[in-house]
A and B are shown apart, each in its own frame.
Chain A
């Protein structure tokens, strides 16, 4: 989230796009309601089905799963064609005026620089996706926005293809509904109006998920909705600490604080540092890296040994979830740890997770209930006697049985206190990993393969690991050995240490650490700056320089985030820029994290191209209307032939997956709560009355749903809340399914994720859970 939950109350139009706030983030509805009651705000829901959020919305528009880019591009085009964008904002705060290499172009679904690669896919040479520069390397601009090679003109050209009729034909959203949405949401493209887009996995879980998010961002930039109160690109996180787990680097491709993992090609410390961006805040990266290495290797890390940089493993290739399991299938992975994660239900093509686990020598699982991942050898149809994998299932403490912080979607890092001792032999994950490390270190004290990174690792959190000690290490220490105030105090000479630079400041003193602060705001715009700590540096709305015009006057004086009073910056939030300088010095560089210091309407960092382009999901009932390129040309195909063909008659229906209010994620928590099982007892899929008529079923009947990969048997609900959509003039039916069930727990049932393809987004490799093809038939 660029903004935060309470900030919803400052919006004029809220668009729930690819999320289901009322069912999955219920309490935030309170702030949406507040905006509606106090500001007369409108709520739009765009979703393939009428959700419980749609039931209370002002405007509902249907959309075919997997066509978000087309829909959003249509909105972008609507804003551009009708001049509804925020001109001054776009001119000053985005790269709209930057001139692009004249060699750049786009033709029939491909940007310039494409080259055919394996499995019918492509790679890109991005040479032409670049700015025109002068002799000093400075980007050339045309502030009149008229140059045909400026970003703005290129964009207009690209998006002009997404007219309302085309968008409607692709997305299945009727033209009039689409127009209603466009008109209402684009009404926020002026000073003093705020539009917010709330999304969740309905935007990200696609082979083009990252470009979906970029489309959201581009639309919001055009309408001047980023950095202002009530605006933003707001990813509503589904889990309580999914934000924090990313922040401290529980991902293959990053270290802590989103620093990239070292790669083979970079060779060494110097090579890694050579990739440091040349402008923008990331120029400080060496400080953050060295400080992290000091936190990890203490006195052993010196400038003479590159601060133990070589102790870090180097990344050879994609090792994200789908890739990792592929390597497991190929026998590369022998031992695996799995903490509070349940890929045997939650992963794509989930049954294969169970299958591949057999290839492991050993598996260690820590959880609060016996989950399917640990019990894979008990799955229906398995013969345990043929499974050689050793499994260790460790009992973990529940959340209120341990101390520590979690980070919400609004980046608020909040302390959670321990209330009771864990039950039985259960232990906090902190204790478990601490003891595991100590046991491994002990084993290596007697020698072993390159034991240095293990033996030299700073690891001193007490006999029973103390979360406060870990927190202080993450926060870091300054050159004087005191807890570091914030990351601006970090250095690259080894004098400071910091476990995760973006968290510097969250525990910067022992007596009153910011993450434990509990002072609620009594007046202001809802920032609540004295409640907990928001990274970075307690900023609640990021890119907040954009909340003012170039002269420092708030676009909306009633909801000022910051304002220049003629001599200094006044604030309702922590400024996202050097607040000691007058507005003119920051007027054209509000986006400090990009090298351009401006937001990128055109970006060369995306795998697919500088502008999002509509491609069909990997499995689609129709040919791509926009070009000959059927699906994301740069997504890696891990399992060629694992997909149904375009317009498959064997799998004629569009399938999508989602959650229920009554259950949670892979269900291992809620399927063990009898009362919740009573109110939502079984797995089922949802179909429209017309599809039900076609296959001859009524609600409650048993059906078999099958995809190219697997099939499952469950019951069916026939509901008008799902309707066939008119795609390219043809009616297409949708099958909706929940993914909460598995074969363990008190309530057992078919896992919808068994049917999901193992293919991911080209940038993030997030799997395509939300759009695939299936067939459905009656049992018996």
Chain B
């Protein structure tokens, strides 16, 4: 299958421009996004995958519906991590001058020592933003760095993301993700926060918010609770824009924003769409649906 991550900066700029033509209000948030992405793309090549399995072994994982990190340890070089973190914070501050000053000091914070980082990573293994925020508050990292725990969690995840992506790319070169049909990411086990219907055939492609793996998942099934009762699945869209949909499950009451690229007749970059469609999150909440658990997104 065709993959869209990592995108070229040119393409990102083009798509962002396309959105800004319609909605200038998103200018600054897109600046922040682009700043973060530039750092991530830049370091992606520097990071070596830590989990190296053969094609045969990977196929066995896939056959058993096991995601890679379920029993493989992701190794993160603390120094590099800290560097990325610093760059990301800097990029945010640059794109958004009103961001807290203290962001610039986060990467040097003593609280992010080796021990804490390793513990952090374990928390991350739980894939729960709340857990991470509790940890941050418990260790008083937020107080000491004068930063809100949500911000800290966000930048930490953004800085970890390339490590996951590097492993994802390694896996992807050996096995095609089109043979993975589970609701969770084949690499890190995370869920998706946004999906698209592929323009070529309409198949639903989920994208992991953490490692950016893209894989096909059946249309007529809820990726959060595996409900496949067609009477309990539906979607809504804002009148006039049928291509940007919110798919909801009446069983688990969760929602998944979905871009129908078959209607748009072109494949879009989901991260950008995720930001541009934050009004859909608002609408979904109003309609009584919950977002997927633990996802970290810029919105």
Contact = CB atoms under 8 A, between A and B. Distances in A.
Interface of A: 417, 518-520, 522-523
Contacts of A519: 181, 218
Contact of A518 (B62, B178, B218): B218
Interface string B189-225: 0000000000000000000000000000010110000
B64 interface: no
A518 B229 CA distance: 11
Contacts of A520: 181, 218
The 7 closest A-B pairs by CB, nearest first: A522-B179, A522-B181, A417-B230, A523-B179, A518-B220, A518-B218, A518-B228
Contacts of B62: 522
Interface of B: 59, 62-63, 178-181, 218, 220-221, 228, 230
Contacts, number: 17
Contacts of B181: 519-520, 522
Nearest to B218: A518
Contacts of B218: 518-520
A18 B181 CA distance: 39
17 contacts: A417-B230, A518-B218, A518-B220, A518-B221, A518-B228, A519-B181, A519-B218, A520-B181, A520-B218, A522-B62, A522-B178, A522-B179, A522-B180, A522-B181, A523-B59, A523-B63, A523-B179
A528 B112 CA distance: 51
Nearest to B230: A417
A520 B216 CA distance: 11
A419 to B, nearest CB: 10
A417 B229 CA distance: 11
Q: Which among A417, A519, A522, A523 has the highest number of chain B CB atoms within 10 Å?
A: A522
A523 B220 CA distance: 21
B215 to A, nearest CB: 11
Nearest to B179: A522
A777 B62 CA distance: 67
Nearest to A511: B229
B227 to A, nearest CB: 12
Nearest to B59: A523
Contacts of B221: 518
A520 B230 CA distance: 17
A509 to B, nearest CB: 14
Given A522-B178, A523-B59, 15 more contacts: A417-B230, A518-B218, A518-B220, A518-B221, A518-B228, A519-B181, A519-B218, A520-B181, A520-B218, A522-B62, A522-B179, A522-B180, A522-B181, A523-B63, A523-B179
A310 B180 CA distance: 55
Contacts of B178: 522
Contacts of A518: 218, 220-221, 228
A79 to B, nearest CB: 39
Nearest to A517: B228
B234 to A, nearest CB: 13
Contacts of A417: 230
Contacts of B220: 518
B223 to A, nearest CB: 14
Nearest to B176: A522
A520 B220 CA distance: 12
A417 B59 CA distance: 35
A527 to B, nearest CB: 15
A519 B178 CA distance: 14
A417 B62 CA distance: 31
A417 B231 CA distance: 10
Contacts of B228: 518
Contacts of A523: 59, 63, 179
Contacts of B180: 522
A522 B63 CA distance: 9
B220 to A, nearest CB: 6
B67 to A, nearest CB: 15
Contacts of B59: 523
A520 B63 CA distance: 13
A520 B215 CA distance: 14
A522 B230 CA distance: 23
Nearest to B221: A518
B79 to A, nearest CB: 40
A417 B228 CA distance: 13
B251 to A, nearest CB: 14
Nearest to B180: A522
A519 B63 CA distance: 14
A624 B179 CA distance: 57
Contacts of B230: 417
A523 B178 CA distance: 10
A417 B232 CA distance: 13
A520 B181 CA distance: 9
A518 B219 CA distance: 10
A240 B241 CA distance: 35
A522 B59 CA distance: 11
A287 B173 CA distance: 54
Nearest to B231: A417
A301 to B, nearest CB: 36
B87 to A, nearest CB: 39
A520 B218 CA distance: 9
A519 B230 CA distance: 15
Nearest to B181: A522
A519 B221 CA distance: 11
B185 to A, nearest CB: 16
B244 to A, nearest CB: 23
A435 B218 CA distance: 38
A417 B179 CA distance: 27
A522 B221 CA distance: 17
A523 B62 CA distance: 10
A510 to B, nearest CB: 12
Nearest to A522: B179
A178 B220 CA distance: 49
A27 to B, nearest CB: 12
A523 B181 CA distance: 11
A20 B259 CA distance: 38
A693 to B, nearest CB: 49
Contacts of B63: 523
Contacts of B179: 522-523
A569 B220 CA distance: 34
A522 B181 CA distance: 8
Nearest to B203: A520
